[in-house]
Amino acid sequence: MKFLLETWSAGARAGLLMFGELQLETPCLLMVTKKGLPAHITHDLLENVLPDAGALQISPIHFLESPPPSIVASVGGVHKLLSLQRRVVVGIARDSFGQEADGLNGTKFGAAFETSSGRRVVGPKKYMEAINALRPDLWATLPDEVPAWATTKRHRMSVDRTLRWLDDCLTLNAVQDNSVLGVVVGGSNVEERKRSAEATARRNVSGFSLGGFGLGEIPQERAALLKSTIAYLPEEKVRHVSGLGMPEEVLEGVAAGIDLFDSTYPHSLTMKGFAMTFPLWMEQQNGYHPLSEEEHAADMDLTKIDLHSAVHRCDVNPIVKGCKCYSCRKHTRAYIHHLLNVHEMLAQTLLDM
């Protein structure tokens, strides 16, 4: 892996992340997955309709039980198992689909995760079994993430454990390449985030994953927390963050100098039956039209519309007039409204796209 920083302005920056022939322009959104694949996007749609979705984020925790690491390793890793040879795969312990790390129930032996089969404590050895089997292009070490409102003592313990597990993961790494992200934690404690960042930067890692965000921090304090972390990280290495998915949060992260984000926000809207309709000024010039009076009355806004609403029952317009995406070119609001009402999964597929 190689990261090339191309340009920057204040804290924001643009770069190129290279994995052999595969390249990602940063800042970049990583498509969130369940057991390695998007929830509602089939493989042929991923290849033919979404060719620009060049990177996926997976959780190694999904591959501890079914399929187990032994099966994944026997077929040659996650790229071969899921036919993702032309995609960059990034492994992050935190599950963006909701099986979050249960930070306050972790122990000195491992982090606690709420999984589909119940709570499970995963230590560095078990975690690295999954990583070594999956062979992702880029992966983050095992963190001890705790809520922002935890005590100072617990945040200090979180930093100590995460650093210890970082060293364990580096020792257990079978590939011994430079595709490792060291996780920086510390919650809402600025001093602990500084300590975590400085210590992680001294390790042999190729980048950093900023952990603990989206776990109860006060939004008004987030910019200061990002700044207090990034200030102690080397500029030439890539930076990733989980838990910042809303548009304003991503923009805040970009302004601070984050390179990689997970794309949880579009998926969360999809599950609620919403479509994204951002009124960018360039779209307005190209034929974008704002919301109708009926849509305003239905409590929608300029960034999203609720396709469950009866307002769209007879609406033969696309989701966004002038948009060139597959869903807008081929389907109407009325059709997607109908699919949602009859609980047809094609609705979620079209909204995800």
User: Residue 274 has what pLDDT?
Assistant: 95
Are residues 255 and 291 both part of a single domain? no
User: Residue 302 has what pLDDT?
Assistant: 75
Residue type, 12: A
Are residues 195 and 331 both part of a single domain? no
Residue 148: Cβ within 10 Å count: 19
**How far is residue 136's CA from residue 58's CA, in Å, rounded to a whole number?**
9
Say if strands 88-91 and 111-115 run parallel, antiparallel, or are unpaired.
unpaired
Are residues 132 and 192 both part of a single domain? yes
User: Residue 93 has what pLDDT?
Assistant: 93
Looking at the DSSP bridge assignments, the partners of residue 7 are 14
Are residues 225 and 324 both part of a single domain? no
Are residues 159 and 217 both part of a single domain? yes
By the 10 Å C-beta count (0-12 exposed, 13-18 middle, 19+ buried), 334 is classed as middle
Q: Which of 224, 242, 268 is the last residue of a domain?
A: 268
Are residues 188 and 315 both part of a single domain? no
User: Residue 177 has what pLDDT?
Assistant: 74
Domain count, the chain: 2
Are residues 98 and 168 both part of a single domain? yes
Are residues 227 and 283 both part of a single domain? no
Instruction: Mark out the alpha helices in the chain (DSSP H runs).
Output: 43-48, 69-74, 78-81, 124-134, 152-172, 190-201, 219-230, 247-256, 264-271, 281-285, 293-297, 326-330, 333-341, 346-352
Closest CA to 215 of 84, 94, 128, 305: 94
Contact between 343 and 311 under an 8 Å Cβ cutoff? The reply is no
Q: Can you say whether residue 122 is alpha, beta or left, with left for phi > 0 and alpha for psi between -120 and 50 degrees?
A: beta
Residue 264: Cβ within 10 Å count: 21
pTM score over 0.85: yes
- CATH at 28: 3.20.20.105
Question: What are the tokens at 21?
Answer: 């022939």
**How far is residue 234's CA from residue 111's CA, in Å, rounded to a whole number?**
27
Are residues 303 and 261 both part of a single domain? no
Are residues 241 and 343 both part of a single domain? no
Residue 352 C-beta-side C-alpha neighbours within 13 Å: 24
Domain extent at residue 333: 272-352
Are residues 220 and 262 both part of a single domain? yes
Q: Which of 268, 285, 305 is the last residue of a domain?
A: 268
Q: Which of 268, 285, 308 is the last residue of a domain?
A: 268
Q: Which residue ranges in the chain fall short of pLDDT 50?
A: 282-284, 288, 296-297, 299
User: Residue 299 has what pLDDT?
Assistant: 47
Are residues 171 and 244 both part of a single domain? yes
By the 10 Å C-beta count (0-12 exposed, 13-18 middle, 19+ buried), 330 is classed as exposed
**How far is residue 338's CA from residue 13's CA, in Å, rounded to a whole number?**
43
